[in-house]
Structure 1
Amino acid sequence: MSLIHYIDSNVLGFSQLQILLEDNYKLALSEEATSKINISRTYLDSKQKESKAPIYGVNTGFGSLCDIKINEDKLTYLQENLVMSHACGTGDRVEESVVKLMLLLKIQSLSYGYSGVSIELVERLIGFYNEGVFPVIYELGSLGASGDLAPLAHLALPLLGKGEVVIDQKVEKSSILKDKFGWEPLVLQSKEGLALLNGTQFMSAHLLRNVLKTQRLMTWADTIAAISIDAFDCNLSPFDDLVHKVRPHKGQIQTAKTIRNLLEGSKMGANQKQNVQDPYSFRCVPQVHGATRDALRYVEQTLLTEINSVTDNPNVFAEEDKIISGGNFHGQPLAISADVMAIAVSEMGNISERRIYQLVFGLRGLPTFLVNSPGLNSGFMIPQYTAASIVSQNKQLCTPASVDSIVSSNGQEDHVSMGANAVTKLSRVVDNFERILAIELFNASQAMYFRLPLKSSEIVEDLLKAFRSRVPFVNEDKVMATEIQKAIIFIRNHKI
C-alpha cells in the first residue's frame, strides 16, 4: 500500500521533503487545499463575467503585450499559445529527480488557492508526480524573472498532449499519456497557462536538490577532515571548546564539537606531538567549515520561505475581492542565495584540496605521494592534480550570476535575476565538492596505513574498515580513476 502525503497549508520542511522523496510517497490534495483551489477558480470565473476591465494574463496579452485585450472566445487559445510559444528551452535535459521536485513545488504553490487554476489542472499534475511521468525540460532558457518561463512551459506541454515525457527512464511522446493512463489533453481555462509558467519552481527545485545534497556532504566533510587530522598527526588543542567560546560563531562551535566527538578516544590524537602548530587547512577546520554552515543557514531559510510561497502572477484574492498583478515570480532571493551557496561550498572543496596536498608532500613520517617505492610509483601524485583542477573550476563557477541582468520583453522585463544560471552552475559546484571529498577520503585512508599500529577513534576506524572494503590500500600504481569513482560511490551510498 502506497504512503500518501496530503497537500495542505502546513509548512514543507527539509526533513519532510527528504522523507517524501526517499520513501516514494504519493500525493493527494487535502480537503483544505481542494476548497481553496475551487473558491479561487469560482471567484475568477465570476469576476470575468462581471467586469469588462482587462485583467492581466486572464484576458490580456503577456509581457509587453499586456495592454492588448483578448476576446472571451479566444482565452483558451491565449493560454495554449502561451505555453507553446514559451517552450524555448535548450541544452542538457534536466534530470528526472529535479523534474520531480519541480512538480511537487508547483503543486504546492497552486494548492494555496491564490492562482485561480482549476482542480482538474492540479489533479493532473499530481497524476504526473504519482505515476512517475516527468516532462522533458531543458537546462537553458530561463532568466529567472517572470518566473522560470521556458522550463515551466516544457513542464506544462504534456498537459496539452504536446512535448515529451520520461516514463521508466525512457523518452516518449506525450501522446502516449492518453493510451497509457487514459488522460485526455487538458483544455486550459483563463489564466491557467500563466499560472503554470509564472513561478520559481525550476530555480527552487535545483536549489533544493543542492541544499539536501550539501547537508549530507557537510557531515562527510567534517568526518573526512577528522580522518585527515589524525592522518597528518595534528594537535587536537585547536578544537578545544574554550577556543570557540571566545569567538562564538554558531557554525564554528558546531564544527569543533563534531571534530572532538569524531576523534574521541583516538590514540593518534593523544600521541605526543613534535609539531607545535598545524597548517591552517587542519587547524582552522572549525572556522572555515563553520563559516560555510552559517552561510547555508541563510540559504536554507530563504529556500524554505520560497517553496512554501505563491510565486505566480497575478495573484487571486477571493476573500478580499482583488486580483493583483505583482512580482512574486522574480527570482532575486534565490539567485543571491545560490551565489552565496556556491562560494561557501567552493571554499569547502578548497580547504579539502589543501589537506590532500599536505598529505602527499612527504611530511611528518608519511612517504612522498603516500606510496611505497616513490619514483618507481607515482602513487597519489595525480589525484591531487585532479582535486586541484576541480577546485579551480569551482572558483571559476563562483562568479555571481545575481549581479547580471539583461533587458527582455521590449523593456517590460527590464531587470532579471539570472537565478536559473545561478542554480545550474551551483549544481556543478556541489557535485564537484563531492568529488573532492572522495579524493580526500581516498588519500586519508591511504595515509592512515602508514600510522599503524596506532589507531584512531572507534568511529573513524569503523568507517575506514567499511571504506577499505570498497577501496583497498594501494601497494603499487594502478588506474586511479577507478578507485576515485569507487570512493565517490561510497560517499553517495554509505550512511554516516
Structure 2
Amino acid sequence: MNSKNSVVFDGQPLTIEAICRIANRQVQVQLSKQPKFIERINKGARFIDALLKEEGFVYGVTTGYGESCTVSIPLNLVEQLPKQLYTFHGCGMGDYFDEEQTRAILAARLTSLARGYSGVRYKLLQQLAELLKKDILPLIPQEGSVGASGDLTPLSYVAAVLAGERDVLYQGERLATEAVFAKLKIEPLTLKPKEGLAIMNGTAAMTGIACLAYQRAEYLSRLATRITSLALLALNGNAYHFDERLFSVKPHPGQNRVAERIRADLQLRRSAPRHDTRLQDRYSLRCAPHIIGVLEDSLPWLRQFIENELNSANDNPIIDAESERVLHGGHFYGGHIAFAMDSLKTAVANLADLMDRQMAQLMDPKFNNGLPANLSGATGEQALLSHGFKALQIAVSAWTAEALKLTMPASVFSRSTECHNQDKVSMGTIAARDCIRILELTEQVAVAVLLAVVQGVELRGNVDKAELSSLSAQTLLIPSGYKLSPALQKTVEQVREHSPFLGADRALEQELRMCLQLVRKQHWDLYDSSSR
C-alpha cells in the first residue's frame, strides 16, 4: 500500500502525483514482495519459456523485430536477441533527460511492467526498482523516438543499463554503469529473450514526461490566477467582471473555479455597487478566467489520458499467462499521450500570451490608469535615467513568442519508418518534450510578470515611494480603499523576500532565477488544493 513516505509497485494503479513524488525524491520506492504478486510476474516469464520449448516460435523471442518479424532466429542465437535490440538502438542524440525526468521515465516503465502482461521476470523488476532506490540514473538522450513501437531508442538506454552497459549519472557524476554496479555489488542482468522488447517497446519516456508536465501546468494555472488578481489591483481594474452571478450563466467548472479564486483574492462581495466610469476592462483582465479556465477544464481529461497510459500494459506482444495466450497488437502506440501533450502545450502557451498582454498594460501609461511608465519606481534625478521593467517586458515578449511558436501539434507530423511497418506513428515523445519547453518558457513569463504586478500594486498604494521597500504590504492601500487580502499580502511578501522594490535600475537576472526556482519547486502555496 502506498503511503505519504513510500510508493509501492504491486501492479495496482498509480497516480500522476506518485510518479512526480518519485521523480522529485520525495518518497521511497518499494517493490512488492507479496508472494501472489511475485508469482503473477514470474508466471508470464515461465509461459514464454514453455512456449519456446513447445513451439519454438514467439515474436520478438525467436524472430526479428517490426518489419523483420518474418526472420526466424535459430534457437542457439535467441539469447543474443535482447542485447542486439538495445545495442542497435543506441543512437539517441540531443540533450539528456534531466534527473527528475529520468526518474519519472523509470517509474513509468516499472508501473507498466508490474501489471504482469509483459512476460518478464520479477528479477527484472527488482533491478529496475534498484535503479530508483539507489538513484542510478541511465543517461537517456531526448531525441530519437517517433512514439510508436514505443520509445525504443530512449528506453534502449534503460535496457542497456540494467545489463550493466552504457553510462549513468550517479551522485552527480557521469560514470560507466559497469563501475557503479561493481561498487554497489549489483549483478548486471542478462536479459531473457522477451525482456529487451518488454523494456523498450512501450511509452514510458513520453508518459513519465507527461506526468511532470501535468503537475507543472496545474501549478501554473494557479499562479496565473494569482498574477491576474494582482494585475487587477495594479491596473485599478473592474473587480465585478468576476461576479458570481455573472459566471453562473456560463457554467464551465474550471472557468468558474478561476473566477472564484479571483473573487477570494479580492475579497469581492456579491454585487457591490461600482461607481467608476470604466465598465469594461481589456480582455487580458476581463476574460482571464475564460483563458485560464480552458486549462483548468482540460486537466480532468488530461489526467485520465495520462493515468490510463501510465497504468497500462503498453508493449507488444501482450503475454496473458493466465489464458496462455500471446496477443499481438499495437499498445505501444502513444497517441493518447501525444494528443494530451499537444493539447496541454497549447493551453499553457495561452497562459504565457495572457500574462504577456497583462504586462503590456502595466508598462504603458496610455493603458495602465496612472502608473508610471515601465513601472519605474525611481525618484528625483534617478527618474530621468531609470527604465524600470522595460527590458523585462521585451524578454517576456521573446519568451512568449518562442512558446507560441512551439504549439504546432507534433502528432500530425507522423513519418513512415522502418520499411513502412511503422507507417503511422504518434510523435508523442516529441509532443511531450515540446510541452516541457513551453512550460519552461511560460514559467519564465510568469515570474517576470509576478515581479511586475507586485511592483504595480505597491506603486498604486497611497504611500510615499521612498518608503515602499521597508513597509509591510498590509499598510498599502489598493483601489477603492480596500486593503490587500491576506492571500495577496502573503504573495507580495514572499516575492519581496527575493526581489526588493525596484527603485533605481538594477540587473534582475539573479532575482528572476531565484524566483523561477521557487516556482518550479512549487514553493509558494496558491489556493486550497481542495478547491479543484
Moved more, 393-402 or 472-481: 472-481
**In structure 2, C-alpha distance between the alignment counterparts of 1:419 and 1:213, rounded to whole Å:** 18
Q: Which residue, out of 232, 237, 252, partners 2:240?
A: 237
Structure 1 residue matching 2:8: 3-state secondary structure: strand
The Cα of 1:379 is off from its aligned counterpart by 0.9
Residue type of the alignment partner of 2:372:
P
Sequence identity, in percent?
Answer: 29
1:45 matches 2:74? no
**In structure 2, C-alpha distance between the alignment counterparts of 1:381 and 1:174, rounded to whole Å:** 49
- 1:23-78 per-residue CA deviation (whole Å, 9 max, x = no partner) reads 231222242432211111111111111114x3211110111110011122211111
1:392 matches 2:401? yes
Structure 1 residue matching 2:416: 3-state secondary structure: coil
Residue type of the alignment partner of 1:484:
L
CA contact (8 A) 1:63 1:412 kept: yes
After TM superposition, the structure 1 = structure 2 runs for residues 408-423 of structure 1, keeping only pairs within 5 Å, are 408-423=417-432
The Cα of 1:19 is off from its aligned counterpart by 4.3
The Cα of 1:18 is off from its aligned counterpart by 4.2
Counterpart of 1:89?
Answer: 92
Residue type of the alignment partner of 1:249:
H
**In structure 2, C-alpha distance between the alignment counterparts of 1:80 and 1:22, rounded to whole Å:** 31
**In structure 2, C-alpha distance between the alignment counterparts of 1:365 and 1:389, rounded to whole Å:** 26
Residue type of the alignment partner of 2:63:
T
Q: Which residue, out of 285, 305, 310, partners 2:308?
A: 305
Counterpart of 1:174?
Answer: 177
**In structure 1, C-alpha distance between the alignment counterparts of 2:242 and 2:33, rounded to whole Å:** 49
After TM superposition, the structure 1 = structure 2 runs for residues 475-490 of structure 1, keeping only pairs within 5 Å, are 475-490=503-518
Counterpart of 1:448?
Answer: 457
Residue type of the alignment partner of 1:422:
A
Moved more, 127-136 or 448-457: 448-457
Counterpart of 1:495?
Answer: 524
Segments of 5+ residues of structure 1 without an aligned counterpart are none
After TM superposition, the structure 1 = structure 2 runs for residues 4-403 of structure 1, keeping only pairs within 5 Å, are 4-20=6-22, 21=24, 23-31=26-34, 32-52=36-56, 54-264=57-267, 273-362=276-365, 363-371=368-376, 372=378, 375-403=384-412
Moved more, 126-135 or 30-39: 30-39
Structure 1 residue matching 2:7: 3-state secondary structure: strand
Q: 1:4 to 1:480 in 2, by over 3 A?
A: closer
The Cα of 1:274 is off from its aligned counterpart by 4.5
The Cα of 1:327 is off from its aligned counterpart by 0.4
CA contact (8 A) 1:108 1:308 kept: yes
Segments of 5+ residues of structure 2 without an aligned counterpart are 463-476, 478-482, 526-532
Counterpart of 1:424?
Answer: 433
The Cα of 1:16 is off from its aligned counterpart by 3.6
**In structure 1, C-alpha distance between the alignment counterparts of 2:448 and 2:21, rounded to whole Å:** 29
Q: 1:178 to 1:444 in 2, by over 3 A?
A: closer
**In structure 2, C-alpha distance between the alignment counterparts of 1:176 and 1:272, rounded to whole Å:** 74
CA contact (8 A) 2:345 2:435 kept: yes
Q: CA RMSD in A?
A: 1.8
Q: 1:217 to 1:137 in 2, by over 3 A?
A: same
Q: 1:177 to 1:485 in 2, by over 3 A?
A: closer
Structure 2 residue matching 1:222: 3-state secondary structure: helix
Q: 1:278 to 1:45 in 2, by over 3 A?
A: same
Q: 1:236 to 1:467 in 2, by over 3 A?
A: same
**In structure 2, C-alpha distance between the alignment counterparts of 1:325 and 1:131, rounded to whole Å:** 35
Structure 1 residue matching 2:461: 3-state secondary structure: coil
**In structure 2, C-alpha distance between the alignment counterparts of 1:473 and 1:272, rounded to whole Å:** 31
Q: 1:18 to 1:207 in 2, by over 3 A?
A: closer
The Cα of 1:486 is off from its aligned counterpart by 3.2
CA contact (8 A) 2:20 2:211 kept: no
Structure 2 residue matching 1:77: 3-state secondary structure: helix
CA contact (8 A) 1:339 1:402 kept: yes
The Cα of 1:470 is off from its aligned counterpart by 1.1
TM-score scaled by structure 1? 0.95
CA contact (8 A) 2:11 2:116 kept: no
Structure 2 residue matching 1:66: 3-state secondary structure: helix
CA contact (8 A) 1:134 1:165 kept: yes
Structure 2 residue matching 1:409: 3-state secondary structure: coil
Moved over 6 A (4+): none
Q: 1:183 to 1:482 in 2, by over 3 A?
A: closer
Residue type of the alignment partner of 1:43:
F
The Cα of 1:150 is off from its aligned counterpart by 0.4
Structure 2 residue matching 1:27: 3-state secondary structure: strand
**In structure 1, C-alpha distance between the alignment counterparts of 2:25 and 2:125, rounded to whole Å:** 23
Moved more, 121-130 or 43-52: 43-52
**In structure 2, C-alpha distance between the alignment counterparts of 1:280 and 1:326, rounded to whole Å:** 48
Number of equivalent positions: 492
**In structure 1, C-alpha distance between the alignment counterparts of 2:220 and 2:28, rounded to whole Å:** 24
- 1:81-116 per-residue CA deviation (whole Å, 9 max, x = no partner) reads 111111110110110111111111111111111100
TM-score scaled by structure 2? 0.89
